[in-house]
């Protein structure tokens, strides 16, 4: 989800979470900074926790994960890069399944290095996990496979075992710019929902548990 300010759209965010009751929400463009930290509590519904990485010394950007208290979530960052904001995460969905991944916000504009750097950036991380997710707002048109950068990136990520799941537009203008790349047979894309309060749609997916575990799916938005 890309709300374009957590605090500005806190009411809408709460309503969305109440409607879908996701186990985790992956958010780009939170528009927070160290000075806005007290407002974090207003953006976190009861029963949920928030992990966030703010943009420092510049307005906009920032990424966050809001997750239910019962879901174990640990985060970290590795090498810093000016071409994107990222947060590595590890979700413990049950005693048998650990989902690892990276949430990314790539600012709009010409950043050709992103297409060259990102496969090498995440390749070592995919090796360490049977179930890996690479998602966020990438600000380029994955629906335009005639674009050289898009085609090259899709091929590069496919070569390290990542498949792009989202087949619907994720932006009001009809573009698909919020992908979910996965290396897991447990992650299933569901649908997108158009939101009236931001120009991005919410993207829904599920993480299924092992067949011998009787529990409802872990839903993400």
What does each of the 221 residues of the chain score in pLDDT, given as a tens digit?
Answer: 999 998 889 899 999 999 999 999 999 999 987 666 556 777 788 899 999 888 877 788 999 999 999 888 999 876 667 788 999 999 886 666 788 899 999 988 766 678 778 887 888 777 666 788 999 999 989 999 898 888 888 888 998 889 999 999 999 999 999 999 998 888 999 999 999 999 999 999 998 876 665 455 566 66
Residue 195 included in any domain: yes
The 10 Å CB-count burial string (b at 16+, else e) for 20-42 is eebbbbbbbbbbbbeebeeebee
Q: What are 164's strand-pairing partners?
A: 181
Residue 144 DSSP one-character state? -
Please check whether residue 98 lies inside any domain of the structure: yes
Look at residue 83 in the predicted model and tell me its pLDDT: 82
Domain presence at residue 5: no
- Helix, coil or strand: residue 121: helix
Number of neighbours of residue 59 by Cβ within 10 angstroms: 8
**The token pair that represents 77 in the structure block:** 């960052």
Burial zone of 60 (CB within 10 Å; 0-12 exposed, 13-18 middle, 19+ buried): middle
Any domain includes 18 = yes
Any idea what the CATH number is for the domain that residue 177 is in? 3.60.10.10
pTM of the prediction? 0.90
Q: Tell me, what's the pLDDT at 92?
A: 83
Query: In which domain, by residue range, is 170 found?
Result: 10-220
pLDDT value at residue 186: 84
| Angle (CA) 202 207 210, round 5° | 170
Q: 3 in a domain, yes or no?
A: no
pLDDT attached to residue 89: 93
**Distance (Å, whole) CA 12 – CA 207:** 25
Q: How many domains does the chain have?
A: 1
pLDDT tens string 110-139: 666 787 788 878 887 776 667 889 999 999
């Amino acid at each position: 989800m890309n709300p374009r300010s957590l605090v500005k759209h806190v009411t809408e965010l709460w309503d969305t979470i109440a409607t879908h009751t996701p186990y985790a929400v992956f958010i780009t463009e939170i528009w927070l900074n160290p000075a806005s930290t007290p407002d974090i509590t207003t953006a976190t519904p009861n029963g949920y926790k928030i992990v966030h990485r703010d943009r420092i010394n510049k307005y906009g950007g920032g990424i966050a994960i809001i997750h239910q208290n019962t879901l174990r979530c640990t985060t970290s960052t590795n090498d810093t890069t000016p071409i994107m904001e990222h947060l590595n995460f590890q979700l413990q969905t049950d005693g048998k399944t650990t989902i690892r991944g990276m949430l990314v916000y790539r600012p709009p504009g010409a950043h050709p290095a992103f297409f060259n750097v990102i496969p090498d950036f995440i390749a070592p991380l995919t090796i360490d996990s049977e179930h890996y997710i690479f998602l966020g707002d990438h600000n380029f048109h994955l629906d335009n496979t005639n674009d050289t950068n898009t085609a090259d990136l899709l091929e590069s990520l496919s070569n390290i075992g990542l498949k792009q799941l989202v087949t619907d537009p994720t932006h009001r203008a009809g573009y698909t710019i919020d992908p979910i790349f996965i290396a897991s047979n447990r992650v299933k894309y569901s649908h997108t929902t158009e939101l009236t309060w931001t120009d991005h749609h919410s993207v829904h997916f599920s993480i299924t548990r092992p067949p011998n575990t009787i529990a409802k799916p872990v839903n993400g938005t």
